A and B are shown apart, each in its own frame.
Chain A
Amino acid sequence: MAEQFYTVASDSETSADDRQQPSLPDIAIGIDIGTSQCSIAVWNGKRVELLRNTRNQKLMRSYVTFKNEVPSGGASQNLSHDEQEILSGSAVFNLKRLIGRVDTDPVVHASKTLPFLIQTLDIGDRPFIAALVNNVWRSTTPEEVLAIFLVELKKVLAEVQLKRPIRNVVLTVPVSFNRFQLTRIERACAMAGLHVMRLMPEPTAVALLYAQQQQQSLHENMGSGTEKVALIFNMGAGYCDVAVTATAGGVSQIKALSGSTLGGEDILDNVLRHLVPNFYNLYSSPSVDKIKSMGLLRIATQDAIHRLSSEISVSINVDAGDGTKISRDLDRSEFEEVNRSVFEKCERLVSQCMLDAKVIAEDITDVILVGGCSNIPKIKNLLRVLCKRKEVYQGIDPLEAIVYGAALEGAIACGVNDPSGSLDLLTIQATPLSLGIRADGNAFAIIIHRNIAIPARKEMLFTTAHDNQTEALIMVYEGEGKKVEENRILGFFKIAGIPPAPKGSAEISVCMDIDASNSLRVFAGVFSAGTQQPLSPFIEVRMPTLDGGHEWCEALIKKHGSELDLATMPRKLQP
């Protein structure tokens, strides 16, 4: 398992660079991999700087095209693919919506109208993804696509411009990503020769930037050092995240997080289906000749949606060339009605986050909107109403805030000291999802609740479900469902050596530990009743351990039934 990280520069080049820049060690770069766009930034010794590609873009389209023998991505400096080329079948994109998902996932099914091949067999395995190369569907994986893209960012952008090898990165991720999805991101980074220092929920990167701004204005204005509560709403092409943060003295406490797979892609999909009612039937898993038509429809619809942010009504005229034609006007109220469910879901996410953070609108100092969808008038209005204010926070760039925060975290995590104190910041992260085990039948017994400060450690007592039961299965899940099958399984292991006794008398202790870098360890052991003496060495497992999904649970139940089940200890006996 001892794979080597590879670096591009030779050892001699590395040491020469080190001599040239003694003050700048291997500071981790910040990368914001968006569903649609991507950006990269680094602390340059004084401040955060966003890197540009040779087309002078700070925001680069996230895609990889397999048209030529060597795949290339949107960050590439030589090639400039236009949108129609990206939608020609040879490019794979939206991989952030596909990574770490199985073929039964509704998000994967909804993605089947994308102009490349996504096949599902609905068995809980990974979907088959392929790009069209010389009239052949060439198979790939989301991890591979992300790795190709990251290599390009690393080599072409960062290493050429910074003149040093890049190894450490801080990546931002959606709040709703489960731990399995996070390991897939880490895997892609490892394939690209990158070491992940942190995977940061996107709105917490914005919270860090906000904390820095508050510190600076405090120094400049000698203002009061009172606590400021900010609500951060982030909605891009793929995901919607909300965070509530309390900031004072450079310390940003994440009070609550909420998130969902909800974004511009869903809005685009809704509008496409509204304009072309049989869109899904026509274009789901498209044949080669349909791909071009689909691309044309996507481009025209996307353009109309963008224009609706500044215009009340837009006209759409597109001939897809396959008999499908759109020639009509679309006004803002119609657009808002078509996407009502999206906006309602946004409202629920904001309300849930405020509830979890125990804040009301009047407690919030600033409302910060970031991400491409924050430009939609309905979204702005919705946040203004929910948070009872006339204006939202103006101090940050909605498209650059996340990568800026990631680069700040990179500098802080590498221990960079800034004499002006602008890096004297700390983010106390919170768990975005609850963690627990299966107990009392199929119930989800939560050990670490969501929105608990990280690092965290919690312990809970369980007992046997049957008389004379000597073994028990610890099945670890993540999510918010009351039943385990509504949650994501992270792994399982068996505890043996339980002394035969009537059911409910053995003491099985399960402890979960999340360290500052968010890695999860699960400990479990059997104790003789009422003592602290473990009967045998306890077991420690780093999670997640599972590659697949629920098919393992079915296999376990088929094989063992309920004989390895656990029950929770009554509350009064819990530690």
Chain B
Amino acid sequence: MIATLSLSSQFLGPRIADSRRASLPRSPRSQISASYAAAPERPPPIRASTAPSGSSTLYDVLGIGSGASAPEIKAAYRRLARACHPDVVKGSSADEFLRIHAAYTTLSDPMKRADYDRSLAAPDRLHRVSFSPFYGYTRRSWETDQCW
């Protein structure tokens, strides 16, 4: 992904909106208003070729059904972490793990999950893919990264 990105897609990578929403300490209500308010602010996203499918839900990210129980969500998260965590897949980008972790953060919290389920029912939302200019930006690791 890194080498093939065009200049513009370096700045316009994809991201799951909920990854940010879910981890900020907000009340459930303000989360909803945040996404409502933010939606008209941004123009329609330009999708990079590597973007995850816009139709994928957080349940799809974890590979579970929308009726999954809390232990099933945890088990799916752990299974995927074992497969995608950068510590396991050497030299891999953290993006895949970040996506899985964001989905897990939302779905493992009953309040956030209820909000998310409601937002799924209302289709005119940016709840699936939004964009961060920094997402997918090339990660480098130099030996000189260690302090000299």
**Contact between B85 and A428 (Cβ–Cβ < 8 Å)?**
yes
Per the bound structure, the CA–CA distance linking A525 and B75 in Å amounts to 38
**Contact between A190 and B147 (Cβ–Cβ < 8 Å)?**
yes
Please name all residues of chain A whose beta carbon is closer than 8 Å to the beta carbon of B57 when the two chains form the complex: none
Per the bound structure, the CA–CA distance linking A574 and B24 in Å amounts to 10
Interface string of A539-575 (1 = CB under 8 A from B): 0101000000000000000000000000000011111
**Contact between A1 and B42 (Cβ–Cβ < 8 Å)?**
no
**Contact between A572 and B148 (Cβ–Cβ < 8 Å)?**
no
| Chain A, range 180-215, C-beta contacts under 8 Å to B | 183-184, 186-187, 190, 195-196
Residues of B in contact (CB 8 Å), total 49
Selected from A426, A456, A542, A573, the residue in CB contact (under 8 A) with B85 is A426
**Contact between B146 and A190 (Cβ–Cβ < 8 Å)?**
yes
**Contact between B42 and A530 (Cβ–Cβ < 8 Å)?**
yes
How many Å from the CB of A77 to the closest CB on chain B? 29
Per the bound structure, the CA–CA distance linking A513 and B37 in Å amounts to 26
Please name all residues of chain B whose beta carbon is closer than 8 Å to the beta carbon of A463 when the two chains form the complex: none
How many Å from the CB of A110 to the closest CB on chain B? 27
- Of A28-36, A60-68, A300-308, A447-455, the segment with at least 4 beta carbons within 8 Å of chain B is A447-455
Nearest B-chain residue to A184, judged by Cβ: B147
Residues of A in contact (CB 8 Å), total 53
Tally of A-B Cβ pairs under 8 angstroms = 120
B26: Cβ under 8 A from any A Cβ:
yes
Selected from A186, A424, A572, the residue in CB contact (under 8 A) with B38 is A572
Give the one of B26, B90, B94, B133 with max A CB within 10 A.
B133
**Contact between A457 and B94 (Cβ–Cβ < 8 Å)?**
yes
Interface string of B52-86 (1 = CB under 8 A from A): 00000000000000000001001100110110011
How many Å from the CB of A453 to the closest CB on chain B? 5
A23: Cβ under 8 A from any B Cβ:
no
**Contact between A534 and B82 (Cβ–Cβ < 8 Å)?**
no
A282: Cβ under 8 A from any B Cβ:
no
**Contact between A511 and B134 (Cβ–Cβ < 8 Å)?**
yes
Interface string of B5-25 (1 = CB under 8 A from A): 000000110000101100111
**Contact between A574 and B34 (Cβ–Cβ < 8 Å)?**
yes
B112: Cβ under 8 A from any A Cβ:
no
Question: Could you list 15 further interchain pairs (A-B, Cβ under 8 angstroms) beyond the known A190-B146, A455-B97?
Answer: A248-B75, A251-B81, A251-B82, A413-B87, A424-B82, A426-B87, A449-B23, A458-B20, A509-B134, A511-B133, A530-B43, A531-B42, A534-B11, A538-B133, A571-B30
Instruction: Report 8 cross-chain contacts, Cβ distance below 8 Å, ordered by A residue.
Output: A2-B144, A426-B85, A457-B135, A515-B139, A527-B133, A532-B46, A533-B11, A575-B17
